[in-house]
Amino acid sequence: MGRPRRQILRLAAGVAALTAAPRLARAQAYPTGPVRILIGFPAGTSADTFARLMGQCLAERFGRPFVIENRPGAGSNIAAETVAAAAPDGQTLIWLTAANATNATFYEKMSFNFTRDIAPVAAIARTIFVMVVNPSFPAKTVPEFIAYAKAHPGEINMASGGSGTGIHLYGELFKMMTGTDMVQVQYRGDAPALTDVIAGRAQVMFAGSTALEHVRAGELRPLAVTTAARWDALPGVPTVADFVPGYEASGWQALGAPKATPGAIIDRLNREINAGLADPSLKARYTELGVTLLGGTPADFASLIAEHIDKWGKVIRAGNIRPE
């Protein structure tokens, strides 16, 4: 009985090796040419900067060009739709942000399903936001801001880069959790929104890391950061959660691929990304941009996506927030 069993085990091992060999060969041969990374935002945006840093890192690690292609439009859906329909060979990837996950709830009708048609490769960085006001605004702390907002309902203009953007949703969550009434004022992008807060035409904004230089210049007053932990770039600034227990809002930057991309290619991309994030020089460059690094497995990233869709989907539905 022992010999046939050993023969069966050897045969099974041989079959497994033969099955794994093509997958391994594909991963070792990857990529076969330049890799495109589509991004749903214009050149010069923070997401574009993050993507180009990682594209350069991957080009160095793979010895092939990783080319960033900007495909802005429809809240980053145009780029995602293109990648969802691309050949699943790893030659076309997508730079993802939290907006892609938010859009799964925000847009009722899309030609693709984000969680079904895009495969998570790796989460790369968590983006931090800060609640800022014009220096002339009377409140100097979050409790003072809440008290002022309740005493002046509907009189505070809350600037955002558009309906359904992260900056808008972070403010909506603040309103819901504090029982305050503020007016969302939409701009065509975050930059003009921030400009109007600096000018005093809007009073508050839940701004991204681009606000940091204006805070340091004294053009904006930071009241709190939106993440659960304090931000090293503004060590003296508390978190919103210090005053509004349970509040947390943050974005992320990541990489995805068409859904049917072979697991061996996704795993290799994931390994190289994590190795890149461990490199002190790349880590320092990302840190300078005001983000905290994530990394982890594709499964870790899939969990992050699911949590994001669940949390912000509730905010979108509760606030009846729709594209405008």
Residues 6+ apart with CB under 8 A from 52: 68
Q: Residue 260: pLDDT band by 50, 70, 90 thresholds?
A: very high
**Count of helices and strands (H, E) across the chain:** 12, 11
Name the β-bridge partners of 67: 36
> What phi and psi, each to the nearest 5 degrees, are found at residue 67?
-100, 125
- pLDDT score at 7: 63
- pLDDT score at 1: 46
Mean pLDDT along residues 98-121: 93
Q: Residue 6: pLDDT band by 50, 70, 90 thresholds?
A: low
Give the whole-angstrom CA distance, residue 122 versus residue 139.
Answer: 40
CB 135: neighbour CB atoms within 10 A?
12
Query: pTM, whole model, 2 decimals?
Result: 0.86
Closest by CA position to 256, among listed 150, 55, 121: 121
Give the SS3 label for residue 12. Answer: helix
Give the whole-angstrom CA distance, residue 116 versus residue 65.
Answer: 28
For residue 280, pLDDT over 70 is answered with: yes
Give the whole-angstrom CA distance, residue 14 versus residue 159.
Answer: 63
Q: pLDDT digits over 133-179, tens only?
A: 999 999 999 999 999 999 999 999 999 999 999 999 999 999 999 99
Confirm if 118 and 96 have CB atoms less than 8 A apart: yes
Domains of the chain: 32-126+250-318 (3.40.190.150), 130-242 (3.40.190.10)
- pLDDT score at 189: 86
DSSP notation for 133-201: E-TTSS--SHHHHHHHHHHSTT--EEEESSTTSHHHHHHHHHHHHHT---EEEE-SSHHHHHHHHHHTS
Confirm if 122 and 274 have CB atoms less than 8 A apart: yes
